[in-house]
Structures are given as C-alpha cells and as structure tokens.
Structure 1
Amino acid sequence: MTITQLKYVLAVAEHKNFTLAAEKCFVTQPTLSMQIQKIEEELSIQIFDRTKKPIQLTDIGQKIVTQAKNIVNEADRIQDIVEQQKGFIGGEFRLGIIPTIMPTLLPMFLNNFIKKYPKVKLIIEELNTEEIVTKLKNGHLDAAIAATPLMEDKIKEIVLYFEPFVAYIPEGHKNHEKHEIEVSDLNLDDILLLQDGHCFRDGIMNLCKNYSKSEINHFQIESGSFETLIKLADEGLGITLLPYLHTLDLKDKDKLKLKHFKEPKPAREISIIYPKNELKIQIIDALRNTISGVIRGAIAFQNVEIISPLNKK
C-alpha cells in the first residue's frame, strides 16, 4: 500500500462519500475507488461498508483509519525534518482564529509576519473553537489561536497572553459611577451576550455562574458582534463585557463607559494551539514570536483569574 492510498482512505472516512472525497483529493472518483479497492484486496478485508448511506467504516476499518492517520502524519514529518534542518521557514500554513480574536489581533501581527517571513503562505480561517478542534484533529489546520485551556488530549497549547474582561456600562446604569467593579456587581440578566457558539459568551456565563438570575426576563438579545452589543447598551438595554483588546479601538467618548474589574481581574487565556505531532513547528514558533513581540506593548496583565472558555451547561 502507498501513502497516497492511505490519504484516499482518510478522505472517504471523513466525507463518507467517494465522489466528494475524490474532489477533495483532486482525482477522479474511479481512480480513488480503484486505489481503495486495491488496499482492501491486499489486506483481504473491507474498510468501508458501501451498503450504508452515508458510507460507514467497518469495525476493522475504524482501526485502519486510526493507524493511517499516524502513518500519514509521520510521512509528512520527513519533509518537515528536512525543512527544519535547512532552516527553511516557508510553504503553505493553515491558521484558524476564533471570531472574538480575529478583528483585533490579526491586524496587529499580520503585516509584521508576512514581511519577516515572505516565503510562508498563510491561509487564515475565522472559525469557532469547536470547528478549530475538529480541523486540527483531522489535519485541516496546522495551528490556531483560541481561548484556552481546552484540555484536548491531542492538542498542545502555548500561552500568548492574558486578556481581561472589561465591562461597558453606559450612563444611567447603577454601576456607571463606580471606578472599578467586582464580579458580584454583575447581573446575568442585565448582560447583553454574544450568540451561542462563541467561547467568549461561555466565559461570561462561567464568570457569572455563582450569581443567580432574576425571576423576571423582559427580553433576551444575543448578537454575533460586539458593535451591536455596544449600540444596544447605549440604548439603555443593559451592559456588555468586552475583551480588553477590543476596547482599544473604541472612540474616546465610549471609553468613558468602560469599567475595569478589581484585581485579580477576570481574564481569558489566549494561546496558539496545534497538534502534538508538531508538524511545521518552525512556522508555529515564528508566529508565536511575532505575536508575542507586538502584543507585549499593548497588553501586559499578570494579576488575573483565568475564566474557562469551555461551555459548562
């Protein structure tokens, strides 16, 4: 059997469809089917149950796919070893970033990175944490930037910085006149939240987990953007919490509505995460060093309490 054949097996296992798998592998469907059939004949087993829709792995097929992933990863490592030995930092690199980090962090480091490492072709995707973890495990991302800790066995995390939560409290609200606020000042029913699926939302829910909700809910609004939440807060519909870097771009009049928490400040931990096989580690290190260099001047908080990004329903 060949590495190419194993890649075809992995594609079908992922997409559960021979035609779609062939498209993703840039070969014709008959070619892909023939190569997989050759492996099955060589091993005298069936990897896929073709009678089911969508196509399913057989019991032995599941074990083969697990081993095939290891083999393909180790084969990719050979080229990686050569590039590291030569000191080469280049090639295609697929990076995922969660939506609450992308708009603020990406403009801070991207220009510096592409100037310093012109041979790297960055392919950047905005994805939620669940999508990032899935794509990292399936080999469709080389690394990602996300809120941690995620406690995923096959994923390694290196902390880049700590980013405090900051409250946006408009005039007229009972907490507006306070110089600093405490978590106990928060009322979950009073907080305008991002829509479900954002780990920053889950962080807020975890932050407020010990404080009961009121019995009366006049309305519930969830949005996909901080800008919308800020506008709703200005209309007197509540307050919202923002990540620190997002507050740096606010207008001066809006910055007057920001209230920082007393120390230790509740914060999220932002890390670069990647599979433990550490492929393309030289590019991962280059990214980490570039981001650390630009973030050091913008954010430097140490006395913080890390709030988990995991959904704890």
Structure 2
Amino acid sequence: MAAHLPTLRQLRYLVALAEHRHFGRAAEACFATQSTLSAGLQELESLLGATLVERTKRKVLMTPLGEEVVARARDLLRGAEDLADLARAHGKPLCGRLRLGVIPTIAPFLLPRALSGLRAQYPDLRLELREDLTARLLDRLVAGELDAAVLALPYDAPEMEMAALATDPFVLACPPTHPLAEREMVSGADLAQVDLLLLEEGHCLREHALAACSLPAPRRGEGVMGTSLGTLVQMVASGMGVTLLPRLAVEAGILAGTDLVTRPLAMGGSRLLGLAWRRSSARKDEYRLLGQVLFQIDRP
C-alpha cells in the first residue's frame, strides 16, 4: 500500500510550484533540477490519476483539485517537519537548521550584538534569518516556512504560542532646538500638540507607540510617515517634526551622525519584545532557550 502513496518529495515539489508559479524557480527552491521536479510532478499526477497543474507556454496554473491537494500537502509537510523536530529535540539543544523571522524594527538593532554570543554558545546551530513585517512572518510560520519569529507584542495570533522576553521603552527624539527638548519628561498632551512622525501603516511599532502614549491613530492620508526607523530619524533631523523611538534602536546607535536628543515619556510607554512559534511545534523548549540567549536573559 505504501508504494502507492505520494512521497513527501513529490508533495514538496507541488507546493513549491504553487508558490512560485514557475518550474525553474520552484526547482531552485527545492534544490532540484527542473527536469527532476517536472518528472516528480508527473509521477504524482499519474499516481493520483488526476491533473493537478495546467501547463501553458506563458504561465503555470493549479487546477481546482490541484489547489486542494496543495493545501493538504502543506499540512502533511508541516507534520513531517514536526516529527523531525521531535526527534531533534531529544538531542543537543539549538543544533541544526532553525529558520527565524525578525521584524524590521528589531532585527538591525538586536541581531548584531546577539548573534556572536549565540554562535559562540551553540556552534552547531545553522540559523537562517528572514526580515519582514509581523503579519507576513506569522503567515510564514503558519505555512511551516519559518520555525519561530522575534516580534513586538502584543499581537493577536491565537494559533501561535508567544513568550515575552524584554521590555523596550519608547523615547521622544527631537532636535535640540525643539521646545520639547527643554522638558525633563514628555507627556501625551505634549505629543498631541506637535508634528509626530510615524512609521507607515503595516508596522506594528506604529500602533504600539500610539497605544503606549494613549494617542489616536491619524486618519488615512493625514500626517507624514516613514518607511523605516532610519528614515524617521533623518526626517526629524531635517526639522520635519519629532518621533518616538524604541530604546533598543537608540542604544544600538540609530541617532549616530545627528544632533538629535531624546527625552523619556511621562506615561512610561513601552512595547514587549518576544518570540512566537506554532503551538504544535515539538521544539518549544529550544525556542524559549533561543529567546533567552538573543535577549541575554540569565537562566536559573
């Protein structure tokens, strides 16, 4: 009976083709030749007795049955990876491949100082990093394309298990000539009276900063927004307004080369930094350990 069942390799080929819609790119993603991938897919279709892929000269399409098979194949591949993770968890901690996502408002400020220590403590760990926005990282976690992700919390994702690992306070950044630079602390009422520059929609730091200061979100089309924290700093340095920065970024030197000053917030607003992984994962203890090492938390 087993000889008549699809193989994981065949299912992986099909999922890759559904994602890339191109035989060459799908084969590259699977570390296979295009002819090997095509042959594997033909074997799968022959085994199932149905057409899963519509092949034309211009594009690749999944048949309705193909789309359903792809969805189930993703579940099977995730289950197979969980089995491998379960076996790995009984060996040495933090060894082998681990695919980690990190959001852009954390990655450049945390990773440079954390990765050297991680490599020193766990030289057998092969860490693969991907930087992206929170929603897309969580989609990749659900799809089994990532093992864990470093995020800013809270974030509504009930299918994930999350561990809060560090508090990252917000501070005001402004030119030294700005009126708020004279304050020892800045209140929410102060911020409501100035041009507050924020990250564009889609960055969770934007919502966390506004919530921390009890400020309403600007209506769509209002205000000036930046694509990154580095862009916001340059905008503030050019006199366009003030901004809120996480202390993690300030301590990592994001203000270097500017004369900007920072002031604490009277309301003590902050965000939580933490790690997320699938609830079904067998490597939960390893992920907690990874988070402790990344954030340099002392373990009992």
User: What TM-score do you get using the length of structure 1 for normalisation?
Assistant: 0.78
Taking a change above 3 Å as real, the CA distance of residues 196 and 252 of structure 1, as seen in their structure-2 partners, is closer
Instruction: Report matched runs for 1:91-106 at 5 Å.
Output: 91-106=96-111
Instruction: Report matched runs for 1:139-178 at 5 Å.
Output: 139-178=144-183
Partner of 2:281: 278
Looking at structure 2, the residues matched to 32 and 229 of structure 1 have their Cα atoms a distance apart, in angstroms, of 45
Looking at structure 1, the residues matched to 183 and 164 of structure 2 have their Cα atoms a distance apart, in angstroms, of 32
Q: Deviations over 1:86-145 (max 9, x none)?
A: 345311212121221122211332222111111101122332324423332333322121
1:241 to 241, 244, 247: 244
Partner of 1:186: 191
Aligned partner letter, 1:144: A
- 1:123 partner SS: strand
2:262 to 246, 258, 283: 258
Looking at structure 2, the residues matched to 221 and 6 of structure 1 have their Cα atoms a distance apart, in angstroms, of 43
Partner of 1:222: 226
How far does residue 295 in structure 1 lie from its aligned partner after superposition?
A: 8.7
Taking a change above 3 Å as real, the CA distance of residues 19 and 253 of structure 1, as seen in their structure-2 partners, is closer
Looking at structure 2, the residues matched to 178 and 142 of structure 1 have their Cα atoms a distance apart, in angstroms, of 44
Partner of 2:204: 199
Looking at structure 1, the residues matched to 217 and 42 of structure 2 have their Cα atoms a distance apart, in angstroms, of 59
In the alignment, is the contact (CA less than 8 A) between 1:108 and 1:294 conserved in 2? no
Partner of 2:290: 287
Structure 1: give runs of 5+ residues left out of the alignment: 297-313
Partner of 2:272: 269
Aligned partner letter, 2:289: A
Q: Deviations over 1:199-243 (max 9, x none)?
A: 323444565753778xxx8x94635343x5335434433211110
- 1:268 partner SS: strand
In the alignment, is the contact (CA less than 8 A) between 2:166 and 2:274 conserved in 1? yes
Looking at structure 1, the residues matched to 52 and 215 of structure 2 have their Cα atoms a distance apart, in angstroms, of 47
Looking at structure 2, the residues matched to 137 and 252 of structure 1 have their Cα atoms a distance apart, in angstroms, of 38
Looking at structure 1, the residues matched to 31 and 137 of structure 2 have their Cα atoms a distance apart, in angstroms, of 24
How far does residue 8 in structure 1 lie from its aligned partner after superposition?
A: 0.9
Taking a change above 3 Å as real, the CA distance of residues 55 and 289 of structure 1, as seen in their structure-2 partners, is same
- 2:181 partner SS: coil
How far does residue 6 in structure 1 lie from its aligned partner after superposition?
A: 1.0
Aligned partner letter, 1:13: A
Looking at structure 1, the residues matched to 28 and 100 of structure 2 have their Cα atoms a distance apart, in angstroms, of 22
Count of aligned pairs: 290
Looking at structure 2, the residues matched to 239 and 4 of structure 1 have their Cα atoms a distance apart, in angstroms, of 53
Aligned partner letter, 1:33: S
- 1:40 paired with 2:40, answer no
Aligned partner letter, 2:36: T
Looking at structure 1, the residues matched to 176 and 79 of structure 2 have their Cα atoms a distance apart, in angstroms, of 59
Taking a change above 3 Å as real, the CA distance of residues 114 and 54 of structure 1, as seen in their structure-2 partners, is same
In the alignment, is the contact (CA less than 8 A) between 1:155 and 1:276 conserved in 2? yes
Instruction: Report matched runs for 1:66-105 at 5 Å.
Output: 66-105=71-110
How far does residue 187 in structure 1 lie from its aligned partner after superposition?
A: 3.7
Looking at structure 2, the residues matched to 221 and 177 of structure 1 have their Cα atoms a distance apart, in angstroms, of 25
How far does residue 4 in structure 1 lie from its aligned partner after superposition?
A: 0.9
How many percent identity over aligned positions?
Answer: 30
1:210 to 188, 213, 216: 216
Looking at structure 2, the residues matched to 76 and 239 of structure 1 have their Cα atoms a distance apart, in angstroms, of 47
In the alignment, is the contact (CA less than 8 A) between 2:78 and 2:143 conserved in 1? no
User: What TM-score do you get using the length of structure 2 for normalisation?
Assistant: 0.81
Taking a change above 3 Å as real, the CA distance of residues 3 and 232 of structure 1, as seen in their structure-2 partners, is closer
Aligned partner letter, 1:67: R
Partner of 1:307: none
